[in-house]
A = this chain, B = another copy of it.
């Protein structure tokens, strides 16, 4: 059972936007046992669309097309797909009523003919209602092959995949099980890990693969397997996990399964142990806070985040002693500690975290080398701070510091 994802839009090929849809769709298809054979991104150009549709139909059973469904002239997916299926466009009254309702409720400009044309669909398609937007999803069949056209707007596409596409595919096709188990490690490079795991890798059964995903201080080890019996497959993967874990005890952080990112693992543990968190950020500029608040349910454990970016705000808002800053500089162990202690107290939280560093490209208010970062932790047991050099690239320093903070926090709350 193979799928191909086709994403359409000049903006992808000229690099104006990053295609995030394909990753979401790939993960979703895997969850119901469908493998993705290929992801193809092409321009809004009729001949190329038709060529891509043909090739995908040869290689895959399920073809998911996103993008090109807007009301403007540069969007040609719907017309091209209708032509590919030798079909004609007809008005769908349910879609029309939905478009009119959306305009009434959320949009201040009056509805136009362009908007109403969103209700035109190929006569043989099954409409997938798009509750968040005006462009409907479309489900078209050719024998045992299925073409699914979805809008490119991520949250519209996501809802359609979850509410409509996955249940319908699961109903139509018999599928094997695909399971992934990802081991999160922090603190060792991929080749050093690979050496430890060499014997295990040589003896992996054929239906299980091991992959290494290194990223800024973190390496994820992914075991993937495919099989017809979910329990047997799950046990086979677990056997490999049990073989691997004793060899990487010192760097093992947790498992990243089903949207279980490290911050979600941390969040669950904080809620379970009835602890709260507060964050004071300097060099990470709000990104650590946002990593937690992007997920719903954060209010159960998250007290607040203070982005004291300017030095003066560390004094005014966090109440860091000016003398400490003057003596040690703003990028220092002493300031990281003071920030963590004070944010914990001010927000009445169990755990306070702080970051202070030079993300670069210039040195800012401190003499510390670009890339120097301190991460502080305050709990009822006391305060600690750790020093790092995160390299000389701004985006990298910020992201590596966020990752390192999550790693340290995870250790902190699971070990204490």
Give residues in A with beta carbon < 8 Å to B.
Answer: 10-20, 22-28, 30, 35-44, 48, 70-74, 105-107, 109, 112, 114-115, 132, 153-155, 159, 180, 182, 188-192, 194-195, 201, 209-215, 220, 222, 224, 279, 285-290, 292-294, 296, 298-299, 302-310, 312-313, 316-317, 346-348, 359-362, 364-365, 389, 391-396, 398
Find out whether the CB atom of B40 lies under 8 angstroms from the CB atom of A14. no
Q: Which listed residue (B25, B211, B346) contacts A11, Cβ 8 A?
A: B211
Q: Given A41-B39, A188-B109, A201-B73, answer yes or no on A286-B303 (Cβ-Cβ < 8 Å).
A: no
* Contact between chains at B310 and A10 (CB < 8 Å): no
* 4 nearest A-B pairs in the assembled complex, by CB-CB distance: A285-B293, A15-B27, A15-B26, A286-B289
Verify A303–B296 contact, CB threshold 8 A: no
Report B-chain residues with C-beta under 8 Å of the C-beta of A39: 12-13, 19, 39-42
Give bound CA distance, A182 to B16, whole Å. 10
Are B289 and A294 in contact (CB-based, < 8 A)? Answer: no
Contact B15 A22 (CB under 8 A): yes
Q: Are A191 and B112 in contact (CB under 8 A)?
A: yes
Q: Which of B15, B28, B37, B115 sits near A30, CB closer than 8 Å?
A: B15
The residue from B25, B112, B362 contacting A296, defined by CB atoms under 8 A apart? B362
A36 CA / B289 CA spacing, docked (Å): 37
Question: 15 interchain pairs (CB within 8 A)?
Answer: A13-B37, A18-B20, A37-B42, A71-B191, A72-B191, A74-B211, A107-B189, A114-B191, A286-B287, A290-B290, A299-B310, A299-B365, A302-B310, A305-B307, A310-B347
